[in-house]
A and B are shown apart, each in its own frame.
Chain A
Amino acid sequence: MPKLTIDSREIEVAPGATVLEAARKLGLEIPTLCHLDGFEPSTSCFVCVVKLKGKPGLVPSCATIATDGMEIESETDEVRDARKMALELLLSDHLGDCIGPCHAVCPAHMNIPLMIRQIAAGRLRDAVVTVKEHIPLPSVLGRICPAPCEKGCRRGQHDAPVSICLLKRFVGDADLAAPEPWLPERKASTGKRVAIIGAGPAGLSAAWYLLQDGHAVTLHDDHEKPGGMLQYAVPEDKLPRAALDAEIAAIAKLGAELRLGSRVESIAQLRDEFDAILVAAGELRPGDAGRLGLPASKTGVEADKATLATPVEGVFAAGGAIRPQKMAVRSVADGKAVAASIDCFLSGSPHASRVTRHDFSTHIGKLRDGEMTAFLAEASAAPRVEPAGGASAGFTGAEAREEALRCLHCDCRKPGACRLRRWSAAFGASPSRFKADRRTFVQHRQHGLILYEPGKCIRCGLCIQLCARAREELGLTFIGRGFDVVVGVPFDRPLAEGLRRVAAECAAACPTGALALRQGEDA
């Protein structure tokens, strides 16, 4: 029984076991892409490299047989750098969008394509959940948002972008009109109390998420009504107050306490009653920060960019209080981000200083001539739907579904299971580290069950092994060599002929979104 050490920890394994298996036995997770238990090691991705003492270079742990007395290092800077660079090299040749461009540009990071597919499928309740995971005020924003998402929409390159903003409004309105509008679950009470100064978009948004985390929330506002700028600055014809009031009511229903018409003079007055304080009072006048007892910056209250924490312990700031905001959606996004940060602070989490504001994603960018065809293949060819009742009326159910079918589904079908994405995010790998000419986007759509996007393939060959094992008549094979090698069906036959038996298995084994089920991961 060979005995070896990994990061100075001793472990004994069965003869023939790999270093990767030994690490697992120690409870260490070494990242892998091309490895699959029960298959020949591909030794392709090199993300699982470790340092074997006494040997120059690094070795792939997935194929290195553990031997007696071996000394392995898996957590050194050298190893981490190599893993990160392997990921970055793979990313430099990875053609696809993990998340749709609309999603990527949405300040609130809402999963727009998912919402659209849920609308198209008539699953409105699911669509509300998708929306409210990021935007507690969809009916409001659906009326006033300048919709940067639509500028990002890939369909815009073809005819006109999908009418995302109106679809979101449709979801919000439909929910408000429901007999019992959706309310999220609240976690068990933490016993912590948070004071929020300002009941505008940032404060309301923060309240919504803090409540879900199990904290008690009190919103303080010196106006008679909640809503801040939304209540007092936006014209009624653009934003009927009924929609605003209804969405605020939902937040109140979730448990927010509103203290209106009373001005907070200083944070000191809230200290005794509350465990954390959030300044979300919108744009401040000069001297306001000092009056509250907070250090000021050029634009408002000084706050850490990542955590939104002010230098004063337990006090946070968000939205226009930090810097003037032009878009309400940014304040809403800030509200969610600061809620996460406050939650970390209150629970004493070690990651209190990390607020993930962006999901990891690669980007194709602008499509080239001819590339749109693949995307258009299954989308409705109809032009952008204009609401019959005019913009102020919004979409009817039928219109919304019709418009939703125009979505190109250009986001990845495997954003959750993709190991390249997972480890790239974990290692902070940058998709733009290497500048390179990109390949042409190709999508094979002939198969009923799965889609194949060669641009996302990392050439690990697991699918080829699967086909050979299943004795697929044609199966898949490597075609070409070196940088230009691709996985394809022999004799250039359609994918459906190559994969008659193990298509679903291949999609499951594929470490990226190259081979994926057509239906994707949408629940």
Chain B
Amino acid sequence: MSAPDLTFVEQVIERIGRGPEKVIPILQAIQAHCRYLPEDALRRVCETTEITPAAIMGVSTFYTQFRHRPMGDHLIRVCVGTACHVKGAGLVHDAFVRHLTIAEGDDTDPDRLFTVQKIACLGCCTLAPVVQIDEVTYGHLTPDRVPAVLRDFLELDKTGEQKHWADRPAGGAGDGAEIRIGLGSCCIARGSGKVEHALQQALAHSGVRARIKRVGCVGMCHQTPLVEIVRPGHATALYAQVQPEDAEAIVLRHFAPRSLGRRLKVAAGKLLDRLFTDAAWAPVTRYSLDVREPHVAAFLGPQKHLAVEHCGEMDPTDLDEYLAHHGFHALRDCVTGRRPEDIIEEVRRSGLRGRGGAGFLTGLKWARVREVPGEKKHIVCNGDEGDPGAFMDRMLLESYPYRVLEGMIIGAFAVGADEGTLYIREEYPLAVRRVREALRVLAERGFLGENILGSGFSLRLHIMEGAGAFVCGEETALLASIEGKRGMPRLRPPYPAERGLWGKPTLINNVETYSLVPWILRHGADAFAAIGTPTSKGTKVFALAGKVARGGLIEVPMGISIREVVEQVGGGVGQAPPCTGLPATARREERRFKAVQIGGPSGGCLPASMGDVPVDFEALTGAGAIMGSGGLVVLDDRDCMVDIAHYFLEFTQNQSCGRCTFCRIGTRRMLDILERLRNGEGKKGDIEELEHLAAMVKKGSLCGLGKTAPNPVLTTIRYFRDEYEAHIAGRCPAGRCKALIKYVVTDDCIGCTLCAQHCPVEAIAMTPYEKHEIDAEKCIRCGTCKALCPTNAIKVE
């Protein structure tokens, strides 16, 4: 093999820099270029920068983004976030591996065409289970659809029809008429890019003058893609689950084409178009929604929009529009007329507490950073949202980048920081692009940089992309990561307020916290404090997902009960979602609301009987869960609590940095026990041993990850001990743990052979018109037969 061409490495270094802290961006650039990290390239980096071999190896093996083996031509990322997990993501992953005949221990098929990876969360929880192949997202997958998805992707890939919808300039002039289309990640994943494209075509065909406007996340992720028609003097119309082929009809319904000739042409073209329409998605019914409709009202009714104010109305990248909606009023006020001490006092009085999880009083934190003496101070925005099942920060950064930045600039002014970093997960490329664009625009318009708004206050902000380490959500680990180190938390005190980034006093807040700041300063502390409970003020954004009819991004006032969130906003678990893309087996069994997992891997499972617990820091902690960053996954009677505990512990165990004995080995030993329980190998005393270990891991871990890792286990034991005991007795009451269940065919079988045709392991013999039999030895419990059976004749025992 000839020596590889490494000139790109030189270019990367030239562009990024040679300091030891540049290691992560350099690795990201190399990986972007090669799709993995060739050793020669890494050696070259060590030769020409201050980065040592020990550092480059330590860092590149710490973060899961980096790979040291070449990748297949396409990357399949199977989301195994909570919402996806409870909807069978594990089976989908296995189906890909099986279908691509990927060898054990490898992640790429023999032809090196596809690499399959599990990813902690793609943040499209309402589409669960979700898979992303390169840039294309597929939702609501079942194992049996895997071959079709791969075929579809390869088709798309051939036509080159899939890149960055959201990055093209929005088009169309209008007479005040707007066609709004949601372009959050969920919407894009559900095909809103294609719908936008179709709308543009429809406008061009028909000659209608209307402006297509991209708006941020509408929150109703269960109804995406959403299209809203806004015309001055007309009622607003909202369309849900719009498909590209619907675009033309929608346009024509609201806007008359300008000439008869056009109209005729349109009619003819429509026929043709139909033929060429991409029909990758299972056909869906189109809904015309109206905010007055009961279920929309129920979804929006209890909500209170502060962080997501003007949701669905604004183009996220349009600064003027943000300005027109009172954007940067608060900042202007602050930098031109208010003393930093007064701003901090206002924030303190509002009762705002950090939205990242721990709920520390924001005003106190700001005051502390301000007090600590130091010429140089830093500000950091923690956007390393890693909880599986949580995507609030992603949505806020994608849809309200200016609001987050306004809050951050105010924070910097208040504490006296002149430099800052937004640390954003690399899994959120759209958020990164939007924030980067927003930073550019703000600098251009004088809201950032030197002498902001003529006030004499200056601030420079950078973006740092995380590299795939959940633990970096912990603030000291995050700071280590910005400094180019392995993301290892350290003992606090000293807190970042005293010794943070580069040893300087540092203010570090979560995305949502910053996004609430402009509202507070515009409306006053009292207005904010008027919402919520005595100790938890304002609102909280949740990613509502799982077994709930209407999942989405919601912002609710503190103090609202869990039950209201699940049943009123979410529409409960009883009814099936209006469309899920599932095969039309239609006859769904009635499900029962069993529990809600709140707070992700650090949180806990509260049973349905505790539905009256309010959304309040103290109340949730008292119940064994935590507010956390805002993942709220609803579970029904088919979810096994031992499996859920295993799922979360496996996640944290996998994300442990490995520093502390209790977290590194203790969580592993807990997982060993849970694995035994799931495999029917549990024995008496296992539950007590789990509790004992859990207590020790909580006590003997350095950072929040370890201290909270046992929570999902402890709460499930606390509220669902009988399920643990059942597993020891060899039963999984929810019918979920593979080793403890088997699939059997009932007498309802009509012998249609559908199951036999689709069984991936040929465990069902092809016996037309006879009752089928499942070979329990061969069966891998993938559930495909059950999902496909038209007569519901397959039962789990």
Contact = CB atoms under 8 A, between A and B. Distances in A.
Given A57-B699, A482-B664, A477 B54 contact: yes
A46 B666 CA distance: 12
Contact of A89 (B43, B57, B656, B666): B666
A477 B57 contact: yes
Interface in B639-679: 653-662, 664-669, 672
Contacts of A47: 661
Contacts of B486: 478, 481
Given A43-B491, A89-B669, A435-B672, A57 B698 contact: yes
Contact of B658 (A82, A92, A485): A485
Nearest to B665: A89
A491 B700 contact: no
Contacts of A59: 491
A64 B491 contact: yes
Contacts of B696: 81-82, 85
Interface in A468-495: 468, 473-485, 488, 490-491
Contacts, number: 128
Contacts of A477: 53-55, 57-58
B54 A467 contact: yes
A200 interface: no
Contacts of B210: none
B491 A459 contact: no
A501 B42 CA distance: 24
B180 to A, nearest CB: 43
Interface string B465-509: 000010000000000000000100011010000000000000000
Given A46-B662, A82-B700, A491-B57, A475 B52 contact: yes
A186 B696 CA distance: 49
Contact of A86 (B54, B62, B661, B672): B661
B661 A44 contact: yes
Interface in A89-139: 89-90, 92-93
Nearest to B62: A481
Interface residues of B, number: 43
B672 A474 contact: no
Contact of B699 (A65, A82, A437, A458): A82
Interface residues of A, number: 50
Interface in B680-739: 693, 696, 698-702, 707
B29 to A, nearest CB: 20
A491 B53 contact: yes
A93 B672 contact: no
Contact of A44 (B493, B660, B672, B698): B660
A182 interface: no
A464 B59 CA distance: 14
A13 to B, nearest CB: 17
A216 interface: no
A459 B54 contact: no
B61 interface: yes
B707 A57 contact: yes
A60 B657 contact: no
Contacts of A92: 665, 669
A436 interface: yes
A467 B57 CA distance: 14
B656 A483 contact: yes
B529 interface: no
B479 to A, nearest CB: 16
Nearest to B668: A483
Contact of B657 (A434, A467, A481): A481
A45 interface: yes
B664 A483 contact: yes
Given A474-B54, A478-B486, A482-B655, A491 B660 contact: no
A28 B58 CA distance: 36
B36 to A, nearest CB: 15
Interface in A73-90: 78, 81-82, 85-86, 89-90
Given A46-B700, A480-B62, 15 more contacts: A46-B660, A49-B700, A58-B699, A58-B700, A78-B699, A85-B666, A86-B662, A474-B54, A476-B54, A477-B54, A479-B61, A482-B653, A482-B655, A483-B653, A491-B39
25 contacts: A46-B661, A46-B700, A60-B702, A78-B699, A81-B696, A82-B700, A86-B700, A89-B669, A92-B665, A436-B669, A458-B661, A459-B659, A468-B52, A474-B53, A474-B54, A477-B53, A477-B55, A479-B61, A480-B61, A481-B62, A481-B657, A481-B658, A482-B654, A485-B664, A491-B53
Interface of B: 39, 42-43, 52-58, 61-62, 64, 469, 486, 490-491, 493, 653-662, 664-669, 672, 693, 696, 698-702, 707
Closest 10 CB pairs of A and B: A490-B53, A477-B54, A485-B658, A490-B57, A89-B665, A482-B656, A477-B58, A57-B699, A482-B658, A63-B491
